[in-house]
Amino acid sequence: MELQALFPIHIAEMKLRADHLCEREGYDLLAIHAGQLKRQFLDDMEYPFKPNPHFKVWCPLSNAPHSWVLVSPQQEKPTLVILSADEFWVEQPNLDREVWLSMFHVELISRPDQIDRLLPYEKSRAVYLGEHIEVAQALGFTQVNPEPALSFLNFHRALKTEYEQQCIRRANEVAIRGHLAVAEAWQTGASEFDCLLAYMRATRQGENEVHYPHIIGQNEHAAILHYEGKSPYALLAGQQRSLMIDAGANWAGYAADISRSYAGADAHDEFAELIMAIDNVAQALAMEVKPGMPFAELHGRAHLQIAQLLFAFGFCTMDPEDIVAKQISHVFMPHGIGHFIGLQVHDVGGNLLDERGLLAPSPKNYPKLKTTRELQPRMAFTIEPGIYFIDSLLNRLQDSDYSKAINWKRVAEFAPYGGIRIEDNIIMHRDRNENITRELGLY
């Protein structure tokens, strides 16, 4: 089904969730604030506006500061309040072509403070959801982001409606265009900055429109997990070893998050073989995960497969199970195997055991693991195995009791390549796992 047909079904489910929450907790109103512009310190310019994800789940407008969604169990339709000011400095929302507005009772306000006339005078049973605590207090809210409400909404947000799933697919389609453009630019010797331009031209989205800064690292920069530099200088002849790109896209507020690694013209064959091996791990893990499997189990399987590669490629002489047990694999893959994805690139609810906020604890072997929940149909998540050669972590390993088990000459051969990450976006269904990224053509 098309998004236009799926949106009313999505809103109906959001309304059921909100009504259930209000009934359980005794709320009369959920007042969901999109947010407002933030001015830079000692300046007259604002930071790029990012709407509250609890607002985005209802309303696909990405640039609507000072807007609200008001949800009451006593009203059949939620109320969408939009600031439409007589202001020539900034773009005003164009609502004439938005057919989805029929799902709302729409109110226009000309000043942010006019929201007060649409709120109840008595607010003891009204809840403010948003980041601007000072706004909530000025309006007289006494319940501001209460934990029962956040836990309930965050827990259920992990289960994506058909509309949300389709938005994530569309975001992947856009991101894949960017990834293909970067792969082509890389083959011609493009710099990191030129790769960024190629990505933005192909996706038609700027860096402020997407959920996280594009990561485009060549050679040693691929070892920096959240590398944000974009060198404008092309690599010298004979130095084009590796490229790692972790970049996504935005569709109606929903994210794609895709990573690929490439061997350059000057890479040796074994580095390309290692990329292929990690790519095989990513695809295998995507098929292995099943409903009811704790994310921590998937993480453990990933570490064992990474350990097997560390042994097979001669980086470590230990048995792979010992490589995991001694946490040597953590040196080469220091991040989680994946995370939930949706309205946020690291979507909420990944560590919740139930809707009342009980946490699913991290296992002892992986105490910093953030995504620990059991996987269920309708969940969307990433799988992103990698191997990196990070100086600070390798230095600690070299000073440890396990240093003799590491082939340091072998590590030094691969260190100039920085690292490898392969990341796909997955939707779990009852009868299969949908690898969105692969099925849409990025291999």
**pLDDT (tens digit, 9 = 90+) per residue, 249-297?**
999 999 999 999 999 999 999 999 999 999 999 999 999 999 999 999 9
- Reduced to 3 states (helix: H, G, I; strand: E, B; else coil), residue 426 is strand
Partnered with residue 414 across adjacent β-strands are none
Q: What is the DSSP string of 159-191?
A: S--HHHHHHHHHHHHHHHHHHHHHHHHHHTT--
92-121 CB burial, b ≥16 within 10 A, e <16: eeeeeeeebeebbeebebeeeeebeeebee
Kindly state the average pLDDT of the residues 62-84.
Answer: 95
Q: Share the mean pLDDT of the chain.
A: 96
Picking from 304, 296, 286, 301, the residue whose alpha carbon sits closest to that of residue 380 is 286
Task: List the structure tokens of 373.
Answer: 């929940």
pLDDT level of residue 205 (50, 70, 90 thresholds): very high
Q: Look at residue 85 in the predicted model and tell me its pLDDT.
A: 78
DSSP E strands in 66-179: the ranges are 68-71, 79-83, 105-109, 126-129, 143-144
Model confidence band, residue 86 (pLDDT cutoffs 50, 70, 90): confident
From residue 369, give the alpha-carbon distance in Å to each of 213, 293, 337.
23, 15, 9
Task: Give the pLDDT mean for 304-313.
Answer: 98
pTM for the full model? 0.96
Give the percent of the chain with pLDDT over 90: 93
* Beta strands 68-71; 105-109: pairing state: unpaired
Nearest Cα residue to 78 out of 3, 131, 147, 19: 19
Q: Which residues pair with 82 in a beta bridge?
A: 108
Question: CB neighbours (10 Å) of residue 164?
Answer: 23
Residue 28: which pLDDT band, with cuts at 50, 70 and 90? very high
Measure the N-to-C terminal CA separation of the chain; round to a whole number of Å.
Answer: 26
Q: With cut-offs at 50, 70 and 90, classify the pLDDT of residue 94.
A: confident
Domains belonging to the chain, first-starting first, are 3-157 (3.40.350.10), 162-439 (3.90.230.10)
Kindly state the average pLDDT of the residues 195-204.
Answer: 98
For 266-335, the DSSP string reads: T--HHHHHHHHHHHHHHHHHHHH--TT-BHHHHHHHHHHHHHHHHHHTTSB-S-HHHHHHTTHHHHH--S
pLDDT at 67: 96
Mean pLDDT (whole number) for 70-84 = 96
Residue 88 has pLDDT above 70, yes or no: no
Enter the tokens of residue 263. Answer: 């061997």
